[in-house]
Amino acid sequence: MTYQLLTIERRRYGVTWIIVDNSPANAIGEELMQELEAAVDDLAADSAVRVVVVASSNPKIFLAGADLKGMVMQSGNLADEENFIAKKSARMQACFQRFASMPKPVIAAINGYALGGGCELALACDFRLMGNGKIGLTEVSLGLIPGAGGTQRLTQIVGRAKAMELIFLAKKLTAEEAVENGLIHRSVDPTNFEAEVTAFAEELAKGAVHAMGLAKQSINAVDKGLEQGLQVEAQAFADTFLTDEPSIGLAAFFQKQAANFIQE
Ligand code: COA
């Protein structure tokens, strides 16, 4: 697919950046969602892509959430189609779920405002590294609620009590506050943002990324309950042997060498 609102940059060690450029605020409308869906499928299927980084070309805004202007303009469709808004919400949920289930590590590189749906996309990523800006599920301040997975993922990530507080009060947190609340993994010096994200992404990319993908599948199965989760884990453990990573890792261990999982 040819992208208009995204740039896909393939960098060293299979680290691949999805850079969103949907001026003025990287709001998520239909076109951006279609491109995100296509990109996530392309990169998930591409074995040369070892780690995905989601970022923005806007120096101040990561993603400003759902397209509020589009929402207002489309409000006329409410009468036309049954459950129009619920379908829109489900569409965005499904798009972000594809990021959450991508079988490789996904990093949200948040260097600006990540509000509403922008925060929800970040919550669907495996790692959230943040420099400038503020992050939060701010929908309630507009009389809405998070509808792209935010009520579920924020609750899983920070716990029920904290999620209630952050969502009800539409809190916008700085990187330091977001670390304190357990919403992001790391606060990064904004002046060294890209270099620090790159260093972390490359550290992951040099590892056994297929094993990481299988561990992710297994971790995600925690929602299914212990019995089913253990079944998923056992199968994922077995599936590690479908790749060459165990032979590389085990051989390196016995040779007392560092494992090199990136085979040319
Ligand atoms: N959807 C559509 N357009 C949006 C938008 C959104 N979610 N967020 C911002 N914009 C538009 C603004 O209307 C403005 O357009 P204009 O130039 O035609 O007036 C433009 O983007 C720039 O936004 P502005 O508010 O002037 O920039 P800022 O730098 O002062 O603030 C934000 C940036 C992201 C903090 C602010 O725009 C904001 O709070 N946006 C809404 C975020 C939100 O509530 N998202 C939840 C959606 S459910």
Average pLDDT over residues 69-76: 81
Atom of ligand 1 nearest to the CA of 112: 34
Q: What is the pLDDT of residue 182?
A: 98
- 147 and 221 inside one domain: no
Nearest CA to ligand 1 atom 23: 25
- 104 and 35 inside one domain: yes
pTM confidence score: 0.96
- 215 and 170 inside one domain: no
| Pairwise CA distance, residues 106 & 219, whole Å | 14
Atom of ligand 1 nearest to the CA of 147: 48
The three-class DSSP label of residue 62 is: strand
Q: Give me ligand 1 centre to Cα 161, in Å.
A: 29
Structure tokens at 199: 């260093």
- 66 and 172 inside one domain: yes
Q: What is the pLDDT of residue 76?
A: 67
How do residues 14-58 score in pLDDT, each as one tens digit? 999 999 999 999 999 999 999 999 999 999 999 999 999 999 999
- 122 and 242 inside one domain: no
Here the CATH number for the domain that contains residue 26 is: 3.90.226.10
Reported confidence tier of residue 132, pLDDT bands at 50, 70, 90:
very high
Q: Give me ligand 1 centre to Cα 139, in Å.
A: 13
Q: Are 56 and 106 in contact, with CB atoms under 8 Å apart?
A: no
Q: Give me ligand 1 centre to Cα 243, in Å.
A: 45
Residues classed as catalytic: 120, 139
Around ligand 1, the residues with Cβ closer than 6 Å are 24-25, 27, 60-61, 64-69, 113, 115-117, 138-139, 142, 144
Reported confidence tier of residue 78, pLDDT bands at 50, 70, 90:
low
Give the length of the chain.
Answer: 264
Q: Quick check: is 15 in a domain?
A: yes
Range of the domain at 93: 6-205
- 128 and 213 inside one domain: no
Alpha helices in 62-180 (DSSP H): 68-73, 84-100, 117-124, 150-158, 160-168, 175-180
Last residue within a domain, chosen from 169, 187, 205? 205
Bigger pLDDT: 263 vs 91: 91
Atom of ligand 1 nearest to the CA of 67: 1
- 135 and 237 inside one domain: no
Question: Is residue 79 over pLDDT 80?
Answer: no
How do residues 190-205 score in pLDDT, each as one tens digit? 999 999 999 999 999 9
Structure tokens at 229: 């989760």
Phi, psi of 113 (to 5 degrees): -60, 130
How do residues 81-109 score in pLDDT, each as one tens digit? 778 889 999 999 999 999 999 999 999 99
